[in-house]
Amino acid sequence: MWDKETKFEELTESLKQGKSKIAKLSDDDLEVVTNIYKYCNYSNLLHADKETPSALSELLTHIDKFVQILNKTHEK
């Protein structure tokens, strides 16, 4: 009872949408995302809110940058 044609159409539609979103990102955007990834994986963010105020500020800055890039992918 598996409708492979419908499933394939869903797959290709997802690929089309993903491709158009990725096309909106610049190399600089991808570099920012890479840096955020490194920051999150190599920093001790377990208690950023209880450590130095700059740790929380730095985390919030990275979040803001990520949201700006994410918003680009949703623009029409």
Is the Cβ–Cβ distance between 48 and 59 less than 8 Å?
A: yes
- Across the range 9-26, mean pLDDT stands at 87
Neighbours of 71 (CB within 10 A): 10
Contacts 24+ apart (CB under 8 A), 45-51: none
Which residue ranges make up each domain of the chain?
Answer: 4-74
Q: How far apart are CA 50 and CA 47, in angstroms?
A: 5
Is the Cβ–Cβ distance between 72 and 25 less than 8 Å?
A: yes
Is the Cβ–Cβ distance between 65 and 25 less than 8 Å?
A: no
DSSP helix/strand/coil, 3: coil
Top mean-pLDDT range of 7-11, 30-34, 50-54, 70-74: 30-34
- 21 pLDDT band, cuts 50/70/90, is confident
- Across the range 40-52, mean pLDDT stands at 65
Q: Is the pLDDT of residue 39 over 70?
A: yes
Mean pLDDT, the chain, whole residue set: 82
Whole-model pTM: value is 0.64
